[in-house]
Amino acid sequence: MKKLVLITYFCSILNVTFSQVIQEIKFEGLVNTKSNYLQQFLAIKAGDQLDSVLLSITKQRLTNLEMFSDVKFRVEERQSNYLVVFECTELYTLLPIFSFGGIEENFWIQIGATEVNLGGRGNKLVAYYQYYDRSSFATHLKFDRINQSPWGLNINLIKWSTLEPLFFSDQTVEYEYDNYTIGTDLIRHFSFTDRIEIGGAFFTENYLKFTEGEVDGAPEEVTKNKILGKVTVVSNRVNYHFHYLSGIHNQLNMQTVQSLDSDPPFYIVFNDVKRFWRSGEKGNFATRLRLGLSTNEVSPFAPFVLDSYLNIRGVGNRVDRGTGAIILNTEYRHTFQDKEKVAIQGVLFSDSGSWRNPGGKLSDFTDDENFVLFAGGGFRLIHKKIYNAILRVDYGFNLQEPSVNGFVLGIGQYF
């Protein structure tokens, strides 16, 4: 009798165990995305025990790919096993580029095309024309995970032309700047959140003086052929919930530039850390901190730029340069309307930063003359069915000098 009870007990355990086995995992709603590409992002596989935690992790991983507006899963019982189905709603990822931005007396525009899910395997292709004082062209191709391996590749071809303000003895001199670049990066993914990119580029820079008249120390023309080497380390632990974000993203950039003439090598290192967290059902806080240092030579070509598009909204167009930067951007985003296809956010922000002057000291960061503090507000018009379709309008003003202000327009969140 005891043997019969024990056999019955163990059989019941085995029956419960095997009844929780996943027989198959399928994807529904795929239009362009290949299901075998998505298999590598599964935290749970066919033959594993059914686990709701691992299913939720997989759902978030798929959402974080930014090729789906929504991902859901359901479990269907099949006799003694289970079928898991991930229901994916694809975003429109082959899109025209029509981006623009502007502040007072300055405007830029981009026109082109982008595909962020090329071949249905998460590859990216971007090609555009840009007018920002002058005409530029760029093509970027990224193979994120070649043949579902942890290896990827970036290829860049760029002709970048702007009108650059440079600073000589307290005088601003404008130069027509042209940069022709060909470069590539090798990508190694260590996990779904961490990767390293090692690459280089060959580029030619040309500066032709645009401002009329002679200025001490300002040459008429400068041409340099250079080689760039770089290492980028990325840790991306940001989770997407439609247009709401939570988590942390860190990117460390290390670069060295060697001129092909007798100039000494140039070094630059900077780190961007972004932190997002939800506030209730409709709120989203966001911060970005950039710390950067470069070779500290007395030069008008210092790499860190004070600019409305890049770091301080409302300050103006490339109004200053430095060999070091500490920049803090903070936003509160509140969603006032959230429909199936469209959402509207209001934004309050503060942007602050401090710079080290070319050839200066670290104490420059604490000098009041090198510190700026702006604040302001704006709104975001978000199309939830199109990748990165966010119209951004911000107005920022200087808290130390309120007469310095301006609107900043653009596509996508500021950071």
Those residues with Cβ within 8 angstroms of residue 8's Cβ, 6 or more apart along the chain or in another chain: none
The mean of the pLDDT values for the chain is 90
Predicted confidence (pLDDT) at residue 381 exceeds the cutoff of 90: yes
Residue 403 pLDDT grade (very low, low, confident, very high; cuts 50, 70, 90):
confident
Query: Distance (Å, rounded) from C-alpha 165 to C-alpha 320?
Result: 8
As given in the structure block, the two tokens for residue 60 are 């978030």
Question: Has residue 415 got a pLDDT over 80?
Answer: yes
pLDDT in tens, 26-43: 999 999 999 999 999 999
Question: HEC profile for 159-203?
Answer: EEEEEEEEEECCEEEEEEEEEEEEEEEEEEECCCCEEEEEEEEEE
Residue found under tokens 């340069």: 321
Residue with tokens 């092909």: 260
pLDDT at residue 154 in the model: 97
3-state secondary structure of 220: coil
pLDDT of residue 165: 84
What is the mean predicted confidence (pLDDT) over 148-159?
96
CB 20 within 8 A of CB 49: yes
pLDDT tens-digit profile of 358-367? 999 999 999 9
Averaged pLDDT for residues 127-153: 94
Which pLDDT score is estimated for 3? 52
The β-bridge partners of 157 are 139, 182
Asked if residue 135 lies in contact with residue 289, where contact means CB atoms within 8 angstroms, the answer is no
Name all domains of the chain by residue range, CATH numbers in brackets. Answer: 2-90 (3.10.20.310), 94-411 (2.40.160.50)
C-beta atoms surrounding 75 within 10 Å: 12
Mean pLDDT score, 284-300: 94
pLDDT given for residue 135 in this prediction: 95
**What is the reported pLDDT for 80?**
80
Q: What mean pLDDT do residues 409-414 have?
A: 87
Rounded Cα distance, 167 and 216, in Å: 11
**How far is the C-alpha of 137 from the C-alpha of 158, rounded, in Å?**
6
